[in-house]
């Protein structure tokens, strides 16, 4: 998928001598309309936007993202709404890549093929399915590729050497490295040096793959990982949304300020 | 889809961990791939290791107190005036329920893997209580995840966990019951899998946890088979084995030795939680035809909406109050080897009253669901039909609920 928007975003960031910034927010948090506005404002600074389709039994998410997900579900978000948020977003930002992220049961209930064709229609660029690891994801990943959708493989500190090789060779344009043993939103408990060392092992397998690092990335930690192809910030954004709602402040403005700061740290 | 003979059901999965090609599997985050692979390798070695088996048998006998008794409920049978009702009194096991088998085996595995910390989920509090006991016995540090609603309604078991030195982590998300406890426990494991062993409290979760749990509770039917042969000289012509089903560990353990028999000879009946009579909520994915979905790392019939969001459940019995069920039971259902039905809260309560009125037995609300079915069908059956109910838990933990619901009629 050489000409994918995802690939292009990394090329652009590299030209500017910085890592790509990837943001994660939850579709429907805290309303459908608001989450679209948040997505639009995030995309002013983010190179790639990840959009979560919320599940009520998320086995790999920490408190911040859970809170966002439960809030979105409570406010009535449905899978079809997620697709329409993406469609509407793409109408005005057609070159900004969108990656949908979620749990397999939602895809399974929707029907894999139907889900993929909906993604295609909405112009979704990539998919992360948290609980569909390699090699179980082979068939699904191949279907995505056939439809020009990037299936994004995850690698973690526990991934063995042999497995890492296989995953990299099966991956598409982007690979997601989980920085530490943690659910999303955990405090970074490994040194930046150690994370970059692991990251480098993946890069060494295949330099042409874009490898992003996620989990535990905040305003405080983002700079230390600048070397990576891309950095994902999720929980910090969800946390800011929660904080803004509690303080009855404007979520959109506050989130914009946060990504602006994040972006400045890696320029 | 077909069950093979002479192979334990826990081993009848394909290389991806699916029973019948579609139930079970490993829907897990990447981080857990390695720890699960390590655990799988270790377990496959240990189950062939004579020393480990000797150790297991030693603790089953001297610590758990196997075998538990098998006894006829004479008065209840007379009263119902139909099939004979027998009970396998698994609640005699140390701690008061079948959960001790799985907990003991997990503690032994944890030791064998050189880990010092063990974590587990619990609903009724028995899985947690037993894990805290086993942890104490084998010198492990223990954390138990439990829904805040369950902490309130199963206090006696929480007291026991604390006494054994375990930390109870209350879970406030979702319905604050077992489903949320399992999720939170799995999340904790994702973050701590390098030094911590996870025990799943029933035959649910990623493939290996179904296997370890089923392998452990299978002790129940091994004992029962011997006991039935002793009492009846041979296996009776019409035998029905009735068991409550939450995750399904007690039912699988009760049935495993009998699965190869013809269903017209030995009938296997699972009873799920139907919830309050007038409520739309229940915890009966098998008997009320839920669709297949993915929950806690495995595919099974799951109470869920058509988007794949997991439904809240409702049952008077915390141990059965779970939206999913073991992939093994889905397999038994689809192959028609076992039959699944449900009992409502009210039916379980009246069964409890009837059993305790006639017998010196105090089954908790979970097995009371199984008794409800036995009481329902026994009068219509011939006297040479033998019904065995697994009385797999003791009602001490349910004291507050029973007083509240039955008051002076207790
Ligand atoms: C006494 C008792 N019976 C049954 C159950 C249900 O679990 P399972 O179906 O795995 O036996 C529980 C669970 O907590 C229990 O405590």
For residue B359, what are its two tokens?
């017998």
**pLDDT tens-digit profile of B368-377?**
999 999 999 9
Task: Please tell me the predicted confidence (pLDDT) of residue B409.
Answer: 61
**pLDDT tens-digit profile of A160-181?**
999 999 999 999 999 999 999 9
> Which of B97, B318, B329 has the most ligand 1 atoms within 8 A of CB, as the residue to mutate?
B97
- The answer to whether residue A60 sits within a structural domain is yes
Give the CA dihedral B171, B176, B179, B184, nearest 10 degrees.
-10
Q: Read out DSSP for B345-357? A: HHHHHHHHHHHHH
Is residue B332 pLDDT above 90, yes or no? yes
Select from B173, B189, B196, B307 the residue whose CB has the most chain A CBs within 10 Å, as the one to mutate to test that interface: B307
d(CA B231, CA B240): 16
Q: Round the average pLDDT of chain B to a whole number and report it.
A: 97
- The runs of H, that is alpha helices, within B273-363 are 327-334, 345-358
Q: How far is CA A11 from CA A6, A16, A96, A209, in A?
A: 9, 9, 13, 11
Name the CA radius of gyration of chain B, rounded.
19
Task: Please tell me the predicted confidence (pLDDT) of residue A3.
Answer: 87
For residue B71, what are its two tokens?
């006894």
Hey, whose CA ends up nearest to atom 13 of ligand 1? B319
Q: How many CB atoms lie within 10 A of CB B137?
A: 16
d(CA B208, CA B204): 9
In the reported structure, the alpha carbon of residue A177 is separated from the centroid of ligand 1 by a whole-number distance in angstroms of 39
Task: Please tell me the predicted confidence (pLDDT) of residue A1.
Answer: 79
d(CA B36, CA B16): 13
- The answer to whether residue A191 sits within a structural domain is no
Q: How far is CA A88 from CA A122, A124, A129, B222, B230, in A?
A: 8, 11, 23, 61, 72
Sort out which chain B residues have CB atoms less than 8 A from A104's CB and list them: 27, 294
**Average pLDDT for B13-32:** 98
Give the pLDDT band (50/70/90) at residue B147. Answer: very high
**How many domains would you assign to chain A?**
1
- The answer to whether residue A98 sits within a structural domain is yes
Hey, whose CA ends up nearest to atom 15 of ligand 1? B319
Residue A249 belongs to domain with CATH number: 3.20.20.70
Which residue segment(s) compose the domain that A107 sits in?
Answer: 5-149+220-265
- Say if B173 is an interface residue toward chain A (CB within 8 Å): yes
The answer to whether the Cβ–Cβ distance between B34 and A158 falls below 8 Å is yes
Q: What is the DSSP letter of B365?
A: H
Q: Which of A107, A108, A133 sits opposite B28 (nearest CB)?
A: A133
d(CA B210, CA B228): 27
- The answer to whether residue A90 sits within a structural domain is yes
Element (H, E) at B133: helix B126-137
**Average pLDDT for A103-125:** 98
- The runs of H, that is alpha helices, within A93-234 are 104-110, 112-122, 138-146, 161-170, 192-205
φ/ψ of residue A69, rounded to 5: -65, -45
Name residues whose C-beta falls within 8 Å of residue A2's C-beta, 6 or more positions apart in sequence.
Answer: none
Does the annotation mark A61 as catalytic?
A: yes
d(CA B328, CA B337): 11
The torsion region of residue A248 among left (phi > 0), alpha (psi -120 to 50) and beta comes to left
Q: What percent of chain B has pLDDT over 90?
A: 98
- The answer to whether residue A167 sits within a structural domain is no
**pLDDT tens-digit profile of B201-260?**
999 999 999 999 999 999 999 999 999 999 999 999 999 999 999 999 999 999 999 999
d(CA B204, CA B308): 18
Is residue A2 pLDDT above 90, yes or no? no
Task: Please tell me the predicted confidence (pLDDT) of residue A224.
Answer: 97
Q: Are A57 and A102 in contact (CB under 8 A)?
A: no
**Average pLDDT for A121-127:** 98
Sort out which chain B residues have CB atoms less than 8 A from A60's CB and list them: 29, 31, 187, 190
Q: Give the global pTM.
A: 0.97
ipTM above 0.90, yes or no: yes
In the reported structure, the alpha carbon of residue B366 is separated from the centroid of ligand 1 by a whole-number distance in angstroms of 6
Hey, whose CA ends up nearest to atom 5 of ligand 1? B319
Task: Please tell me the predicted confidence (pLDDT) of residue B154.
Answer: 94
Domains of chain B, start order: 26-60+97-214 (3.40.50.1100), 65-93+218-409 (3.40.50.1100)
Ligand 1 atom, smallest distance to B217 CA = 11
Q: Round the average pLDDT of chain A to a whole number and report it.
A: 97
Give the CA dihedral B394, B397, B399, B401, nearest 10 degrees.
-110
d(CA B397, CA B395): 5
φ/ψ of residue B376, rounded to 5: -70, -45
Give the pLDDT band (50/70/90) at residue B175. Answer: confident
- The answer to whether residue A194 sits within a structural domain is no
Which residues surround ligand 1 with Cβ inside 6 Å? B 97, 99, 123-124, 126-127, 202, 244-251, 319-320, 364, 366, 392-393
Sort out which chain B residues have CB atoms less than 8 A from A59's CB and list them: 28-29, 183, 186-187, 190, 296-297
Sort out which chain A residues have CB atoms less than 8 A from B294's CB and list them: 103-105, 108, 131
Nearest to B148 by CA among B130, B167, B113, B175: B175
Q: How far is CA B251 from CA A178, B202, B320, in A?
A: 39, 10, 12
Per the listing, tokens 């899998």 go with B193
- Distance from the Cα of B29 to chain A's closest Cα (Å) equals 5
Is residue B408 pLDDT above 90, yes or no? no
Edge-first strand listing for the sheet containing B18-19: B18-19, B23-24, B298-302, B291-295
Task: Please tell me the predicted confidence (pLDDT) of residue B174.
Answer: 86
d(CA B288, CA B263): 21
Task: Please tell me the predicted confidence (pLDDT) of residue A199.
Answer: 98
d(CA B319, CA B130): 14
Q: Which of B16, B190, B295 sits opposite A136 (nearest CB)?
A: B16
Q: Read out DSSP for B46-104? A: HTT-HHHHHHHHHHIIIII-SSPPEEE-HHHHHHHTSSEEEEE-GGGSTTSBTHHHHHH
Does the annotation mark A50 as catalytic?
A: yes
Q: What is the 3-state secondary structure (H, E, C) of A74-127?
A: HCCCCHHHHHHHHHHHHHHCCCCCEEEEECHHHHHHHCHHHHHHHHHHHCCCEE
Is residue B410 pLDDT above 70, yes or no? no
The answer to whether the Cβ–Cβ distance between B183 and A156 falls below 8 Å is no
In the reported structure, the alpha carbon of residue B348 is separated from the centroid of ligand 1 by a whole-number distance in angstroms of 14
Q: Are B76 and B358 in contact (CB under 8 A)?
A: yes
d(CA B135, CA B137): 5
The answer to whether the Cβ–Cβ distance between A58 and B183 falls below 8 Å is yes
């Amino acid at each position: 998928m050489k000409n994918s928007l995802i690939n292009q975003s990394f090329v652009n960031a590299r030209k500017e001598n910085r890592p790509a910034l990837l943001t994660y927010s939850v579709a429907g948090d805290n309303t459908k309309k608001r989450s679209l506005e948040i997505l639009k404002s995030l995309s002013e600074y983010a190179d790639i936007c990840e959009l979560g389709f919320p599940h009520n039994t998320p086995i790999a998410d920490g408190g911040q993202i859970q809170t966002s997900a439960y809030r979105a579900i409570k406010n009535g978000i449905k899978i079809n709404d997620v697709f329409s948020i993406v469609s509407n977003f793409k109408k005005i930002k057609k070159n900004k890549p969108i990656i949908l992220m979620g749990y397999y049961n939602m895809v399974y209930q929707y029907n894999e093929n139907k889900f993929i064709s909906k993604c295609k229609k909405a112009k979704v660029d990539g998919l992360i399915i948290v609980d569909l690891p390699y090699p179980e994801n082979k068939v699904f990943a191949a279907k995505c590729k056939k439809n020009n959708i990037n299936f994004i493989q995850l690698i973690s500190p526990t991934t063995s050497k042999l497995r890492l090789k296989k995953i990299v060779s099966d991956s598409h344009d982007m690979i997601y490295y989980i920085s530490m043993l943690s659910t999303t939103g955990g405090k970074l408990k490994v040194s930046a040096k150690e994370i970059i060392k692991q990251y480098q092992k993946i890069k060494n397998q295949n330099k042409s793959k874009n490898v992003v690092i996620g989990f535990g990335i905040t305003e405080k930690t983002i700079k230390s990982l600048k070397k990576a192809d891309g950095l994902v910030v999720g929980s910090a954004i969800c946390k800011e949304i929660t904080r803004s709602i509690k303080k009855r402040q404007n979520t959109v403005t506050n989130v914009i300020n946060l990504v602006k700061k994040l972006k400045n740290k890696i320029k | 889809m077909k069950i093979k003979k002479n192979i334990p059901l826990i081993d009848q999965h394909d290389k991806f961990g699916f029973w019948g090609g579609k139930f079970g599997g490993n829907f897990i985050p990447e981080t857990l791939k390695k720890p699960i692979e390590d655990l799988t390798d270790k377990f496959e070695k240990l189950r062939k290791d004579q020393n480990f088996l000797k150790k297991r048998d030693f603790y089953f006998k001297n610590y758990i107190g196997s075998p538990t008794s098998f006894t006829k409920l004479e008065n209840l049978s007379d009263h119902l005036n139909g099939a004979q009702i027998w009970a396998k009194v698994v609640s005699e096991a140390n701690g008061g329920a079948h959960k001790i088998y799985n907990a003991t085996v997990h503690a032994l595995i944890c030791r064998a893997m050189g880990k010092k910390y063990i974590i587990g989920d619990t609903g009724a509090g028995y899985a947690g209580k037993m894990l805290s006991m086993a942890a104490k016995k084998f010198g492990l540090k223990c954390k138990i995840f439990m829904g805040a609603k369950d902490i309130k309604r199963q206090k006696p078991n929480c007291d026991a966990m604390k006494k054994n030195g375990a930390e109870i982590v209350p879970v406030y998300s979702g319905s604050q019951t077992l489903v949320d406890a399992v999720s939170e426990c799995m999340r904790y494991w994702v973050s701590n899998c390098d030094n911590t062993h996870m025990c799943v409290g029933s035959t649910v979760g990623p493939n290996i946890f179904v296997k370890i749990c089923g392998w452990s509770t299978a002790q129940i039917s091994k004992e029962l088979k011997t006991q039935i042969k002793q009492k009846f000289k041979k296996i009776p012509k019409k035998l029905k084995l009735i068991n409550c089903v939450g995750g399904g560990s007690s039912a699988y353990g009760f049935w495993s030795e009998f699965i190869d028999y013809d269903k017209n000879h030995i009938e296997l009946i699972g009873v799920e939680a139907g919830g309050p009579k007038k409520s739309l909520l229940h915890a009966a994915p098998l008997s009320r035809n839920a669709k297949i979905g993915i929950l806690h790392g495995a595919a099974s019939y799951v109470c869920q909406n058509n988007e794949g969001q997991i439904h809240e459940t409702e049952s008077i019995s915390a141990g059965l109050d779970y939206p999913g069920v073991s992939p093994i039971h889905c397999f038994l259902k689809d192959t028609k080897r076992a039959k699944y039905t449900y009992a409502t809260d009210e039916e379980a309560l009246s069964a409890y009253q009837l059993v305790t009125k006639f017998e010196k037995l105090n089954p908790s609300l979970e097995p009371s669901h199984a008794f409800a079915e036995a009481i329902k069908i026994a009068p219509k059956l011939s006297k040479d039909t033998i019904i065995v109910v697994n009385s797999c838990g003791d009602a001490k933990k349910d004291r507050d609920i029973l007083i509240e619901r039955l008051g002076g009629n207790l």
